[in-house]
Chain A
Amino acid sequence: MRPTAPSWLKVLVPIKRTVDYAVKIRVGANGVETAGVKHSLNPFCEIAVEEAVRLRERHKKDIENITVVTIGPPKAADVLRTALAMGADSAIHVEVKDGVIVEPLAVARALKAIVGEEKPDIVLMGKQAIDDDASQTGGMLAGMLSWPQANFASKIELDVAGKSVKVAREIDGGLETLSMDLPAVVTTDLRLNEPRYASLPNIMKAKKKPLKKLKPEDLKVDFSPRLETVKVEAPPARKGGAKVESVDEVVAKLKEAGVL
């Protein structure tokens, strides 16, 4: 009898470099100021990387490889290093020029091309990026690949033998649990896990892990934006509030304002 082929799984984790969430964003003449501003790994992507690493910890031998991929300027290599230091095995950087805006559609197309090359069994990614707040890439990618998708995951259970995944997802009223065949796309919500920090020795080891650089041309994907940003404005400044002395005063003020 022929031995069964090993049921190793490959995980692909697309990640994004965004302005750090702790930075107070400023709007300048050409949109949000990003020059000289601290950037880091998008928090939802961090959760996706963490989950990939945890899946491997749980299913030691069954997961063959965790690849992280980012599409962004030369500096975006930083976040790949972060992900490698957290436990990913290899990285792919699709390098675009500084200042080039890559819309979710282009990202999904690029990821589709990369999925074709890498043949992952599961694509694990953040539910949204905190910069454009689009929350579209995961869905678009699943659509293009005709793969099932589970968005806003707060629990992921992998069935390696059955080649399926069970995902509890955060919906408006509570939780919903789905079961899907692999390959599939899963996007991560905040409650899924608490990302680890990359330890210092792992930061040093990450340097030695493979990082492949690609150009948009290599993927034969059209990156041209379909939307034109007309302008970016700061939200209207709130008028300074006032402190009141008593509960009665609060109620009176609210009534005065017609809220109560």
Chain B
Amino acid sequence: MLRSISRTSQRSLARSTIPLRSFATEAIDPQGPSFGLSEDQQAFQQLARDFTAKEITPVAAEYDRSMKFPWPIVKSAHATGLMNLHIPEEYGGAGLSVFSSALISEEIGYGCTGVSTVLEANGLASAPVIVAGNEQQKKKYLGRLTEEPLIAAYCVTEPSAGSDVAAIATKAVKEGDEYVLNGSKLWITGGGVADWFFVLAVTDASAKPNKRLTGFIVDAKSSGITVDSKLLNMGQRCSDTRPITFENVRVPAENRLGGEGDGFKIAMQAFDITRPLVGAGAVGLAQRALAEAARYAQERKTFGVPIIQHQAVSTMLAEMAIGAESARAMVWRAACAKDANDPRRTYYASISKNLAGQTAVKNSSMAVQVYGGAGFNEEFPVAKLYRDAHIFTLYEGTHQIQNIVIGRQVAKDFAV
């Protein structure tokens, strides 16, 4: 029969939302809200879906076990154009909108969020360069990423400064036309495989918190950089996460992003791009958990019927669907806000990241529950989802930090 039918890991394609009959007499306003995808976006989504089904899903469990860095997938994703999505076309990227990138991130996250984090790390590290880099910096460092399958890493977190970015202790001292970096970074995604780093360091310790920091592009080959061994984490195990130490690392002043003291602002602006995309990865995971649970619930029988016919189980699946659909809608909203440069983009980005992260945790947990004892077993796909999900409420700003961002906006909106 059809060989292609054997590609079973392909996710079944949801029916689209085209209404069969519109009861409104008014024509749809082309300027108004739309939940439809353009022809291009449908093609991007389909490409990412096919790529995931063929090259990620079948090997995800193996990479989870071996914890090896998925170089073959990186190379293949790079060749297919599924990396460095929002790098502008002038620098060899696809120049996609955050919205289009989010469609792709969700599809890849559906296959394995360890892999999506690996691919996304480039987006995170290049975002500050896109936001604040000058022509020369963009050409050199973004161009490198698009020419070859290379990894870049975002180095902000330190052993004692994560959420509290202003507490960063790594120092950059200007000497002639160079800066000398000293300090250590922790939990750096792609740290051991990166070609260059975005590093946030203190240039003026006496300044106000949002003026103390400066961002730099640092070549990974610079002398004085020590990359420690890979950290063993609960989930997303094929992603490379490491501590990095900078000891008298000399960085040419031309590698400074923006002006001195602009670092905090640059790092925060980058989040407007990356948070919806991290959210999209979480939606992919939440959707996968739903798909796996829904399939299993129709095959597994207890008390003479498939368990989906037990109302308690059916309700769980409904809750999971509500979570995945609403998180996706919010990710789309946040991505559109960034693409339109909406002044509320940061607020929406935080909401989308929180909702999607929470949903990933909830759905993966419920999927384990639907699977019963099998869910606790690593031979089945849901245990990995459960382990992978938790990072989504931690990295790129914890759940609590997002709530602070959201809370501030609420206080402004309803100022008394």
Chain A interfacial positions (CB closer than 8 Å to B): 20-24, 35-38, 40, 43, 77-78, 81-82, 85, 130, 190, 197-204, 207
B15 within 8 Å of A (CB atoms): yes
9 A-B contacts, Cβ less than 8 Å apart?
A22-B12, A23-B13, A36-B17, A38-B13, A38-B14, A38-B16, A190-B4, A197-B50, A201-B81
Asked if A38 meets B10 with Cβ closer than 8 Å, knowing A200-B44, A201-B94, the reply is no
Partner of B47, one of A20, A78, A203: A203
* Interchain CB contact under 8 A, A200 and B2: no
Residues on B with C-beta less than 8 A from A190 are: 2-4
Known A198-B47, A203-B44; 6 more pairs at CB < 8 Å:
A35-B20, A36-B16, A36-B17, A36-B18, A40-B46, A190-B2
B134 within 8 Å of A (CB atoms): no
Q: Which among A21, A24, A197 has the highest number of chain B CB atoms within 10 Å?
A: A197
> How many interface contacts (CB-CB < 8 Å) are there between A and B?
66
Residues on A with C-beta less than 8 A from B44 are: 200, 203
Residues on A with C-beta less than 8 A from B370 are: none
User: A24–B44 Cα gap in the complex (Å)?
Assistant: 23
B302 within 8 Å of A (CB atoms): no
Instruction: Report the 3 A-B pairs with minimum CB-CB distance, sorted nearest first.
Output: A200-B81, A38-B13, A199-B81
Report the minimum CB–CB distance from B12 to chain A (whole Å): 6
Residues on B with C-beta less than 8 A from A199 are: 47, 79-81
- Smallest CB gap from A35: residue in B: B20
User: A37–B50 Cα gap in the complex (Å)?
Assistant: 18
User: A81–B44 Cα gap in the complex (Å)?
Assistant: 12
User: A141–B214 Cα gap in the complex (Å)?
Assistant: 69
B322 within 8 Å of A (CB atoms): no
Residues of B64-102 at the interface with A, using a CB-CB cut-off of 8 Å, are 79-82, 85, 94
Report the minimum CB–CB distance from B177 to chain A (whole Å): 38
B43 within 8 Å of A (CB atoms): yes
User: A190–B2 Cα gap in the complex (Å)?
Assistant: 7
Residues on B with C-beta less than 8 A from A130 are: 2
B229 within 8 Å of A (CB atoms): no
User: A43–B39 Cα gap in the complex (Å)?
Assistant: 20
Q: Which among A22, A36, A77, A82 has the highest number of chain B CB atoms within 10 Å?
A: A22
Asked if A37 meets B39 with Cβ closer than 8 Å, knowing A200-B44, A203-B47, the reply is no
B5 within 8 Å of A (CB atoms): yes
* Interchain CB contact under 8 A, A35 and B18: yes
B51 within 8 Å of A (CB atoms): yes
Interface size on B, residues (CB 8 A): 28
Residues on B with C-beta less than 8 A from A201 are: 81, 94
Asked if A81 meets B13 with Cβ closer than 8 Å, knowing A35-B18, A35-B20, A200-B44, the reply is no
B222 within 8 Å of A (CB atoms): no
B40 within 8 Å of A (CB atoms): yes
* Interchain CB contact under 8 A, A36 and B20: yes
Residues on B with C-beta less than 8 A from A36 are: 15-18, 20
Chain B interfacial positions (CB closer than 8 Å to A): 2-5, 10, 12-18, 20, 39-40, 42-44, 46-47, 50-51, 79-82, 85, 94
- Smallest CB gap from B54: residue in A: A197
Residues on B with C-beta less than 8 A from A43 are: 2, 4
Report the minimum CB–CB distance from B152 to chain A (whole Å): 19
* Interchain CB contact under 8 A, A82 and B43: yes
Residues on A with C-beta less than 8 A from B82 are: 200
Residues on B with C-beta less than 8 A from A35 are: 18, 20
User: A197–B10 Cα gap in the complex (Å)?
Assistant: 14
User: A85–B20 Cα gap in the complex (Å)?
Assistant: 30
Report the minimum CB–CB distance from B146 to chain A (whole Å): 10
- Smallest CB gap from A191: residue in B: B3
Residues on A with C-beta less than 8 A from B4 are: 21, 43, 190
* Interchain CB contact under 8 A, A197 and B40: no
Residues on B with C-beta less than 8 A from A23 are: 12-13
User: A190–B15 Cα gap in the complex (Å)?
Assistant: 27
Residues on A with C-beta less than 8 A from B18 are: 35-36
* Interchain CB contact under 8 A, A37 and B2: no
- Smallest CB gap from A201: residue in B: B81
User: A21–B5 Cα gap in the complex (Å)?
Assistant: 7
- Smallest CB gap from A82: residue in B: B43
- Smallest CB gap from B5: residue in A: A21
Residues on B with C-beta less than 8 A from A81 are: 39, 43
* Interchain CB contact under 8 A, B2 and A21: yes
Asked if A78 meets B42 with Cβ closer than 8 Å, knowing A35-B18, A190-B2, the reply is yes
User: A78–B55 Cα gap in the complex (Å)?
Assistant: 24
User: A21–B2 Cα gap in the complex (Å)?
Assistant: 9
User: A39–B223 Cα gap in the complex (Å)?
Assistant: 55
Residues on B with C-beta less than 8 A from A204 are: 40, 94
Residues on B with C-beta less than 8 A from A200 are: 44, 47, 80-82, 85, 94
- Smallest CB gap from B3: residue in A: A190
Report the minimum CB–CB distance from B388 to chain A (whole Å): 25
